[in-house]
């Protein structure tokens, strides 16, 4: 059994061959990469050739018709002791298998590991993008689960999405936790464009102990969110057609409903809805989104929260152009070392970060 499985769900037009080649460059690395293709999607020829030359790369054709079930099918095909999931175009630490092995040895009660992940916009234009923050710290800490439950399900201190570094997407869980979640009753009727929040919610609910590494261990190819109207039979007042905040709320609602629990929110959720509107830089888009959220708030819980919803249009915000080390955070240019993609940025930034071997071999993690 490999120490780590990295799951990569594959949709039409995607090719993770280059990213996978970096992960398996070390022939001794105890990992497997499982690529699951959505129904009707053929594996790219270079990927097939890569898999033919390395048994650690497993290609799985699925019958999944949408993203949520694709993730479920891909994860079901993994065999590692720990599991993480990324999407094509994302980058993840090739030595992550060492990190989770270290967790096994020194934090054997931890079953979910989170970390900082760079958000890299592939459409960024030089001179028109903010700095990227690189944490200088690299300690591993345990996290209070109650605090994270409040942060996720009650939206405490959130922006337009909850602060949630745990789950499967750019984080990792033990096999025992994954298998337990996979056994939960589920249905392919409900669809969501953001299954990472479904897994974040379920992992958080069922994890026993959480650990977090300050050192960034991956980079996300940060695609802009595209609203998707839900199907009529799964309609919920706050839904994926409103914006990313609505999509997360809809996901939370369904996760809790499957477990027989109500979805309850308050002032912090309304603030998140307002932030989602404020982030719109075009007035027409701001007005349309604001009206849609307000209509849902009017209908939710007898309109008890609608009076709190008062977003103001701010237009484009000033760029954060800070550079250098400030309070244990190193601010660098988005195109560091000429990096265009998330993979290229992570490759350059990784040369500036503490090696995983040092963290796991020469540093005592904070308990």
**pLDDT 10s digits, 71-90:** 999 999 999 999 999 999 99
Lowest mean pLDDT among 58-67, 81-90, 258-267, 356-365: 356-365
Residue 181 in this model has a pLDDT that exceeds 70? yes
**pLDDT 10s digits, 113-160:** 999 999 999 999 998 899 999 999 999 999 999 999 999 999 999 999
Q: How confident is the model at residue 100 (pLDDT cuts 50, 70, 90)?
A: very high
Q: Measure the CA–CA gap between 242 and 119, rounded to whole angstroms.
A: 22
**pLDDT 10s digits, 251-265:** 999 999 988 999 999
Residue 232 in this model has a pLDDT that exceeds 90? no
Q: Measure the CA–CA gap between 35 and 77, rounded to whole angstroms.
A: 9
The ranges assigned to domains in the chain are: 1-80, 94-367
Residue 367 in this model has a pLDDT that exceeds 60? no
- CA torsion sign, 86 to 92 to 98 to 104? negative
DSSP per residue, 198-228: HHHHHHHHH-S-EEEEEEEEEEEE-PPP---
């Amino acid at each position: 059994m490999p120490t780590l499985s990295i799951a990569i769900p594959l949709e039409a037009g995607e090719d993770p061959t280059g990213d996978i080649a970096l992960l398996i460059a070390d022939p001794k690395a105890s990992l497997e990469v499982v690529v699951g293709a959505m129904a009707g999607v053929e594996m790219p020829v270079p990927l097939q050739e890569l898999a033919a030359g390395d048994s650690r790369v497993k290609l799985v054709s699925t019958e999944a018709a949408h993203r949520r079930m694709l993730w479920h099918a891909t994860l079901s095909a993994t065999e590692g002791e720990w599991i993480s999931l990324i999407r094509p175009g994302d980058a993840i630490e090739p030595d992550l298998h060492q990190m989770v092995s270290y967790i096994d040895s020194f934090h054997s009660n931890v079953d979910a590991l989170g970390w900082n992940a760079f958000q890299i916009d592939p459409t960024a234009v030089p001179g028109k993008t903010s700095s990227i923050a690189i944490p200088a710290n690299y300690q591993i800490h345990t996290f209070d689960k109650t605090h994270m439950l409040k942060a996720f399900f009650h939206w405490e201190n959130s922006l337009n999405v909850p602060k949630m570094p745990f789950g499967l997407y750019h984080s990792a869980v033990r096999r025992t936790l994954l298998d337990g979640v996979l056994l939960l009753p589920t249905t392919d009727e409900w669809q969501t464009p953001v299954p990472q929040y479904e897994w974040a919610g379920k992992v958080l609910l069922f994890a026993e102990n959480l650990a977090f590494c300050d050192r960034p261990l991956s980079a996300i190819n940060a695609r802009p969110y595209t609203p998707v109207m839900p199907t009529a039979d799964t309609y919920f007042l706050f839904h994926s057609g409103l914006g990313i905040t609505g999509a997360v709320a809809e996901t939370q609602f369904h996760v809790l409903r499957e477990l027989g629990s109500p979805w309850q929110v308050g002032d912090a959720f309304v603030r998140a809805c307002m932030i989602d509107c404020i982030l719109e830089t075009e007035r027409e888009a701001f007005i349309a989104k604001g009206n849609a959220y307000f209509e849902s708030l009017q209908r939710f819980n007898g309109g008890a929260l609608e009076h709190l919803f008062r977003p103001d249009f701010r237009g484009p915000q000033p760029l954060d152009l800070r550079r250098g080390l400030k309070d244990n955070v190193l601010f660098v240019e988005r195109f560091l070392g000429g990096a265009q993609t998330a993979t290229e940025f992570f490759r350059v930034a990784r040369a500036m970060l503490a090696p995983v071997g040092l963290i796991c071999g020469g540093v005592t993690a904070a308990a």
